[in-house]
Structure 1
Amino acid sequence: MQSKAASVQEYIDTLPDDRRAAITVLRKVILENLPEGFAEEMSYGMIGYVVPHSLFPKGYRCNPKLPLPFINIASQKNFIAMYHMGIYANKDLLDWFKQEYPKYSKNKLDMGKGCIRFKNIKEIPFPLLGELASKITVENWIEIAESTFNK
């Protein structure tokens, strides 16, 4: 479910109250923990955190006109999602996250390759997601993305 919102605030303003509250907290946690250099923007109809062209002129390998994506958050039909390219590309980070998750939540981890889904928005482990957001710097992410995706 992609939004046509032109800005992050417009995206948040269109959400139902409960989803707006959860996305607002998740956004705040990410912004407080994300290493310097990432930029927030609307990306793929979601709130995105990207490596701007000013730091990585090559952009995204699939579409160089777009900045290199890192994290997206979205209110989907049946869940809140955090799409984290780092856990998709870095097995050590994925293993760390899977090991830590049960310390923060009694719920079964619901995830795909890089998508973490939260069906119960009252059970989102915000501190863990903040720590996850802090684990990779812009420089690390560029190295990981180039070595993983540009083979």
Structure 2
Amino acid sequence: MKIEAETIEEYVGQLPADRQHAIEKLRLVIKENLPPGFEETLSYGMIGYVIPHSIYPDGYHCNPKEPLPFLSMGSQKNFIGVYHMGIYAFPEVRDWFVEEYPKYVKTKLDMAKSCIRFKKMETIPYELIAELCRKITVDDYITHYEHAWKK
């Protein structure tokens, strides 16, 4: 499901009503719980949270003109996806999330390397997502990113 939008509001406005509500609630939870320094943007056809060039001038190694991506969410054909690079980069965060998930949701976790898929809007564990957002600071992520990607 590719949504062509120039702004986040335009993106959300093109979603079906149930997904609009879920995305808006996720936005609120993420913005209230991400540590300082992350910036909300529309990137890669989704709502993203990045480390801006004002904090990390080098930008994303794949395209230094882009800010360093950290978290994105988007409405896909059959699910809402939350793409959290901390789950991919920090095994202890991934392990924590996998262990905590069944305490919030009765259905099986549908997750890939950095993607958490929510097929039923009513089962999105907003409290768990809030806690996940608080786990990694901008400095934590930059340190890990540079260790992994800078030669």
Q: Is the 8 A contact 1:2 1:46 kept in 2?
A: no
CA-atom RMSD in angstroms: 0.9
Deviation sequence 1:62-81 (CA, Å, 0-9, x none): 10000000000001000000
Q: Is the 8 A contact 1:50 1:67 kept in 2?
A: yes
Q: How does 1:1-150 map to 2 (within 5 A)?
A: 1-150=1-150
Residue 89 of structure 1 and its aligned partner are, at CA, apart by 0.7
2:47 is paired with a residue whose SS is strand
Identity %: 58
| Ranges in structure 2 where 5+ consecutive residues have no aligned partner | none
Q: Which aligned segments of 4 or more residues in structure 1 are displaced greater than 3 angstroms?
A: none
Q: Is the 8 A contact 2:3 2:14 kept in 1?
A: no
Provide the aligned length of Structure 1 versus Structure 2: 151
- What letter matches 2:75 in structure 1? S
- Matched residues in 1 for 2:60 and 2:19: separation? 29
2:29 is paired with a residue whose SS is helix
Deviation sequence 1:129-151 (CA, Å, 0-9, x none): 01101111111111111112335
Deviation sequence 1:17-51 (CA, Å, 0-9, x none): 00000000011000110100100000100000000
Q: Is the 8 A contact 1:2 1:44 kept in 2?
A: no
Q: TM-score, normalised by structure 2?
A: 0.97
Q: TM-score, normalised by structure 1?
A: 0.97
- What letter matches 2:51 in structure 1? V
Q: Is the 8 A contact 2:3 2:11 kept in 1?
A: yes
- Matched residues in 1 for 2:43 and 2:128: separation? 23
2:70 is paired with a residue whose SS is strand
Q: Is the 8 A contact 1:60 1:67 kept in 2?
A: yes
Q: Is the 8 A contact 1:19 1:75 kept in 2?
A: yes
